[in-house]
Amino acid sequence: RDDGYRLWLKYDLIKDATKRAAYARSTQLIVLNSTSPIQKTAAEELQTGLQGLLGKTVPIVASAGGKTGGITLTTNAAASLNSEGYQLSNQQNTITITGKTDAGVLYGAFALLRQFQTLQPIDRLSLTSNPKIQHRMLNHWDNTDGSIERGYAGQSLWKWYELPERIDPRYRDYARANASIGINGTVVNNVNASSRFLTAEYLQKVAALANVFRSYGIKVYLSVYFPAPKTIGGLKTADPLDPEVNKWWADKVNEIYKFIPDFGGFLVKANSEGQPGPQDYGRNHADGANMLAKALAPHKGIVIWRAFVYKADGKADRFKAAYDEFNPLDGQFAKNVIVQVKNGPIDFQPREPFSPIFGTMPKTPLGMEFQITQEYLGFATHLVYEAPIFKECLDADTYVSGKGSTVAKVVDGSLHQYPLTAIAGVANTGSDRNWTGHPLAQANWYAFGRLAWDHTLSSEAIANEWVKMTLTTELSSAKTITDLLLKSREIYVNYNTPLGLSRPWTGVHFAPEPWQNRSSRPDWTAVYYHRADSLGIGFERTAKGSNALAQYRPEVQQQWNNPATCPLPYLLWFHHVLWTQKLSTGRTLWDELCTRFYTGADSVGWLQKQWASVRKDVDSETFANVAGRLETQQKEAIWWRDAWVLYLQEFARQPIPAPFKKPE
Ligand code: GCU
């Protein structure tokens, strides 16, 4: 029985005895000749993994003493690796894990375990891997009261009321899971930050977490409330150019480093969705970021300043806001600042074009922000495997330095030689026993980490690896589940936001509300986004409309600016299209939308059938959990379909196309 707690670090006994024997030949000892806590972790993780997979206790020894057939952990400062990369090799049944640093050894240990877990041959093992991005982070939107903004898997993992005295063993398991996929940083609190996190009371608690994460190579960061000098410092202003404010932050940062000597730095949401920021004092984002950067620099801390900004303006196009505010500041940020940009210009929609900022700020390191938690993807009920969403953005070509200037090359620094690089995922973890609510949503946490390490991996390879490590190594079932994961996102898009629709909901972000136009802000209504009227639907972003397209390079504009050739997934992102317009599929827009809504909802039935077919190979509790959620998803997909179709019919005044009409 497995209730999902062990994630992809399940380490069940490998069934095939021949395989076990083959692995056993090279795993007779673990040679650890170092006092580094991180290398010690690596050795212990190997021991734990091998205990489960091979059913034997492998001793950890300081020296091989002439014996072959073991695993040796070693660092080599001269190895041709980057600081966290690793090398695995097997010569005459002796495996060596080499890192340039201790962290490299730890990542190598998990990579070796992955070889066993996915049943790879290891006789001629020879593998080198380097992370492409330096800061690979989770962002937790967790609050002091234990709630999680946009969290759907229970309460926060951090039990603030017990910390710092009691250390929940789960903190260590969290660190293990992250280290196993190469995540090396975690922002433990919500971007809508409480200044309490900067008080000594909370710094002690955060320090206690950092003490657990440290030996897994994970640094802790905090989201900060920009006016904290006022709210907890008693100052009259939080103006970033005020000397007293500067001093307050410098002192605060010094205090933080007393608690947490290897503290990572700050994440900041400022002048965004009502949060205060430097603009309140007539300053700009660079003024705000640089002030914090100056305080952190002596400690080698960094500032991650978010670019998620837009104004409460019903006439403006929100799509353009971040570019307009940030692009003019290129080159003005301090050296230890990264600007963190959401993958798309709006907000983690089921499908968005890549944010037009990527590539246009060569002098400012731009980090990627993905959302792992399924805010707009059906929470923990709907199955959506997200690697294809991440890949779609990373692989998109910005054309900023000619063909092949992908978003990934911007973010990994190779295009503009950024000195700092970062990628973040808004976490989907919570206190649910299985961490993510939906058992298959664990794959999204996993996929984020694997892509943060190496964005060239394919969605399929990552899915298959995760399935084998987590659910089953039976080939045909593993293939079926991989296939179902890979198709899940497109199915969701079809019944939820097909052809480039966006935000058919307001506040809660779960139920269909394309009609909901009562709101505190003119840009928070549904019609602001979908623009349905008696003629057609879609947001005109060509020169005929907001001209947001002009923020992209001409080659990109060319792909999207003609409604006749714009790929259908992006059509309504850029064009207001007539209901009666014939599309490349041969159907009118109305018929095509209906086709997507109906086939999307029907496809959930296909997901259910596929899942039913793997029953014999998946642990029964996980099987039932997923089956139950799929049943709800099926109902809710129909709910989405009917809500959209009935609502849009009011404008389009067209019948439901024949194939989908119910018999009278
Ligand atoms: C979305 C989300 C908010 C979040 C915000 C952000 O708007 O709904 O809950 O605070 O993004 O990323 O800052």
Would you say the CB of residue 610 lies under 6 angstroms from ligand 1? no
pLDDT band at 549 (very low <50, low <70, confident <90, very high): very high
Q: Closest ligand 1 atom to the C-alpha of 426?
A: 12
At 130-179, the pLDDT tens digits run: 999 999 999 999 999 999 999 999 999 999 999 999 999 999 999 999 99
Q: What's the pLDDT score for residue 662? A: 79
The identity of residue 353, as a single letter, is P
Q: Are 75 and 34 in contact (CB under 8 A)?
A: yes
CA atoms of 160 and 227, how far apart (whole Å): 23
At 599-648, the pLDDT tens digits run: 999 999 999 999 999 999 999 999 999 999 999 999 999 999 999 999 99
Q: Torsions phi, psi of 498, nearest 5?
A: -70, 160
Output DSSP code: residue 654. Answer: -
Would you say the CB of residue 150 lies under 6 angstroms from ligand 1? yes
CA atoms of 50 and 62, how far apart (whole Å): 18
CA atoms of 126 and 121, how far apart (whole Å): 11
pLDDT band at 3 (very low <50, low <70, confident <90, very high): confident
Nearest CA to ligand 1 atom 1: 347
At 11-50, the pLDDT tens digits run: 999 999 999 999 999 999 999 999 999 999 999 999 999 9
Q: What's the pLDDT score for residue 578? A: 98
Would you say the CB of residue 191 lies under 6 angstroms from ligand 1? yes
Centre of ligand 1 from the C-alpha of residue 447, in Å: 22
Nearest CA to ligand 1 atom 7: 347
Q: Closest ligand 1 atom to the C-alpha of 192?
A: 10
Cα–chain center distance at 569:
22
Output DSSP code: residue 241. Answer: T
- Of residues 4 and 662, more confidently modeled: 4
- Among 45, 224, 265, 249, residue whose Cα is nearest residue 135: 265
Best mutation site among 150, 225, 348, 508 for ligand 1 pocket (most ligand atoms within 8 Å of CB): 150
Mean pLDDT of 498-526: 90
The three-state DSSP-derived secondary structure of 448-511 is HHHHHHCCCCCHHHHHHHHHHHHCCCCHHHHHHHHHHHHHHHHHHHHHHCHHHCCCCCCCCCCC
Would you say the CB of residue 510 lies under 6 angstroms from ligand 1? no
Q: 135-470: what fold?
A: TIM Barrel (3.20.20)
Q: What's the pLDDT score for residue 526? A: 92
Would you say the CB of residue 269 lies under 6 angstroms from ligand 1? yes
Q: Closest ligand 1 atom to the C-alpha of 342?
A: 12
Would you say the CB of residue 401 lies under 6 angstroms from ligand 1? no
Output DSSP code: residue 31. Answer: E
**CATH homologous superfamily, domain 493-539+576-660:** Alpha-glucuronidase, C-terminal domain (3.90.1330.10)
The SS3 of residue 293 is: helix
Nearest CA to ligand 1 atom 10: 192
Would you say the CB of residue 308 lies under 6 angstroms from ligand 1? yes
Would you say the CB of residue 310 lies under 6 angstroms from ligand 1? no
In angstroms, the Cα distances linking 566 to 57, 134, 337, 356, 647 are 59, 35, 36, 17, 25
Catalytic-labelled residue, pool 12, 255, 262, 273: 273
Q: Which two tokens stand for residue 209?
A: 């977490």
Best mutation site among 269, 273, 379 for ligand 1 pocket (most ligand atoms within 8 Å of CB): 273
pLDDT band at 199 (very low <50, low <70, confident <90, very high): very high
Q: Closest ligand 1 atom to the C-alpha of 369?
A: 12
Which residues, including other chains, have CB under 8 Å from residue 68's CB and lie 6 or more apart?
92, 93, 94
pLDDT band at 1 (very low <50, low <70, confident <90, very high): low
CA atoms of 101 and 81, how far apart (whole Å): 9
Catalytic-labelled residue, pool 375, 392, 513, 592: 375
CA atoms of 144 and 467, how far apart (whole Å): 35
For the chain, the structural domain boundaries read: 17-128, 135-470, 493-539+576-660
Q: Closest ligand 1 atom to the C-alpha of 273?
A: 13
Would you say the CB of residue 231 lies under 6 angstroms from ligand 1? no
Nearest CA to ligand 1 atom 11: 347
**Res 447 pLDDT > 90:** yes
Q: Is 544 exposed, middle or buried (0-12, 13-18, 19+ CB in 10 A)?
A: exposed
Mean pLDDT of 221-249: 98
Average pLDDT score, the chain: 97
Centre of ligand 1 from the C-alpha of residue 32, in Å: 45
Would you say the CB of residue 521 lies under 6 angstroms from ligand 1? no
Q: Which two tokens stand for residue 587?
A: 């159907």
Cα–chain center distance at 52:
29
313 included as an active-site residue: no
Q: Are 463 and 489 in contact (CB under 8 A)?
A: no
Centre of ligand 1 from the C-alpha of residue 152, in Å: 14
Would you say the ipTM is above 0.90?
yes
Decide which of 3.30.379.10, 3.20.20.70, 3.10.20.70, 3.40.1440.10 is the CATH code for 17-128: 3.30.379.10
Q: What's the pLDDT score for residue 457? A: 98
**Res 664 pLDDT > 80:** no
Q: What's the pLDDT score for residue 206? A: 98
Q: Are 249 and 171 in contact (CB under 8 A)?
A: no
Centre of ligand 1 from the C-alpha of residue 239, in Å: 24
**Res 505 pLDDT > 90:** no
pLDDT band at 508 (very low <50, low <70, confident <90, very high): confident
Centre of ligand 1 from the C-alpha of residue 339, in Å: 17
- Among 132, 140, 221, residue whose Cα is nearest residue 407: 132
Output DSSP code: residue 471. Answer: T
Dmax (CA) of the chain = 83
Q: What's the pLDDT score for residue 294? A: 98
Mean pLDDT of 345-364: 97
Q: Closest ligand 1 atom to the C-alpha of 272?
A: 13
347 included as an active-site residue: yes
Q: What's the pLDDT score for residue 106? A: 98
Catalytic-labelled residue, pool 142, 347, 432, 513: 347
CA atoms of 111 and 117, how far apart (whole Å): 10
CA atoms of 538 and 506, how far apart (whole Å): 17
Q: Which two tokens stand for residue 143?
A: 């609050």
Would you say the CB of residue 523 lies under 6 angstroms from ligand 1? no
Q: Is 421 exposed, middle or buried (0-12, 13-18, 19+ CB in 10 A)?
A: buried
Q: Which two tokens stand for residue 648?
A: 């849009």
The identity of residue 143, as a single letter, is N
Q: Closest ligand 1 atom to the C-alpha of 191?
A: 13
